[in-house]
């Protein structure tokens, strides 16, 4: 169902890789709600080509950008404001990658070059994106910036590896940058902390099947899907959430406030 919540709003969506991506679902929903946008992803992700289908379906252009590269980000924001005909109302940062996770390097045996690369891609890229938007004065007043995160920033999930630290850093950037963006330009900055979701990035985590099934059994409403996340993001981009900022918002079916559920208990009962 569409509510025209984003009619006339313009933005940039980072991170749509394939149709499972949270950013992909978000782009589809933003389009349904009347918003227009530029799609972007790392040049290497473009080679897979699937993003072209999304661009066609949503009448968008694609501007490749490595989110760790300031020149790329500057060009992206210039092209987006030019193409869309003015300042932006929303930006989705939906980017994550750990080289240590990808290469199966244990948290207690990090390759620090890889740690830094993952931190740059997954956390610092959020600061870089906002710094470019801020310095170019590219956001409209009451605009909204959202990044996606996971609860391993607050609690221990052993196989989430250095992504836990990257997410803690990302959430801190949302608060710190959100202060200045709010004060100077009336722009909101929030993170949405999403349930485990079967995407390329999600499935890269060791033991993902167990991880997602456990979270589902612990959550009174079950895991939030990629579409649920897209819908929450739409609400955060809309004018209905104008004074929500500096928040880490859980979209997790209730998982983050659970101790134990009956279903999980049952698997430990003797009879």
Ligand X SMILES: NC(=O)c1ccc[n+]([C@@H]2O[C@H](COP(=O)([O-])OP(=O)(O)OC[C@H]3O[C@@H](n4cnc5c(N)ncnc54)[C@H](O)[C@@H]3O)[C@@H](O)[C@H]2O)c1
- Contact residues: ligand X, CB under 6 A: 14-15, 17, 21-23, 41-42, 45, 66-68, 94-97, 121, 148-150, 194, 196-197, 199-202
User: Which H or E element spans position 149?
Assistant: strand 139-149
Smallest separation, CB 5 to ligand X (Å): 21
Helix (H, G, I), strand (E, B), or coil: what is residue 271? coil
Which CB, 131 or 200, lies closer to ligand X? 200
Select the residue whose beta carbon is closest to ligand X and give its number.
202
Provide, rounded to whole angstroms, the least separation between the CB of residue 87 and ligand X.
22
Nearest approach, Cβ of residue 173 and ligand X (Å): 13
Per-residue tokens: 73: 């980000």
Structure tokens at 136: 């170019």
Q: Minimum distance from CB of 21 to ligand X (Å)?
A: 3
Q: Give the integer Cα–Cα distance in Å for 256 and 237.
A: 23
Q: For 224-241, b where at least 16 C-beta lie within 10 A, e where not — what string? A: bbbebbbbbbbbbbbeeb
- By C-beta, is 30 or 140 nearer to ligand X? 30
User: Closest CB to ligand X among 66 and 165?
Assistant: 66
Bridge partners of 10? 36
Which of 74/200 has CB closer to ligand X?
200
């Amino acid at each position: 169902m569409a509510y025209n919540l984003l009619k006339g709003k313009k933005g940039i969506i980072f991170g749509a890789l394939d149709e499972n991506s949270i950013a992909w679902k978000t782009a589809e929903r933003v389009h349904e709600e009347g918003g227009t946008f530029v799609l972007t992803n790392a040049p290497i992700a473009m080679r897979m080509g699937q993003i072209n289908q999304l661009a066609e379906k949503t009448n968008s252009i694609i501007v490749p950008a490595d989110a760790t590269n300031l020149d790329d980000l500057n060009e992206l924001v210039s092209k987006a404001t030019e193409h869309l005909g003015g300042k932006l109302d929303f930006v989705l940062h939906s980017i994550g990658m750990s080289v240590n996770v990808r290469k199966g390097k244990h948290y207690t045996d990090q390759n620090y070059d890889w740690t830094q690369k993952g931190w740059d891609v997954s956390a610092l890229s959020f600061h870089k994106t906002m710094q470019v938007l801020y310095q170019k004065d590219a956001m409209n007043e009451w605009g909204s910036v959202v990044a996606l995160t996971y609860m391993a920033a607050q609690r221990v999930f052993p196989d989430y590896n250095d992504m836990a630290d990257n997410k803690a850093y990302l959430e801190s950037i949302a608060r710190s940058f959100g202060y200045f963006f709010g004060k100077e330009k009336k722009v909101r900055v929030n993170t949405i902390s999403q349930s485990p979701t079967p995407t390329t990035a999600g499935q890269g985590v060791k033991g993902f099947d167990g991880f997602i099934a456990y979270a589902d059994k612990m959550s009174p409403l079950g895991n939030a899907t990629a579409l649920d996340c897209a819908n929450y993001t739409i609400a955060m981009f809309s004018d209905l959430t104008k004074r929500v900022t500096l928040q880490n918002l859980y979209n997790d079916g209730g998982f983050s406030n659970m101790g134990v559920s009956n279903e999980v208990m049952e698997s430990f009962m003797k009879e």
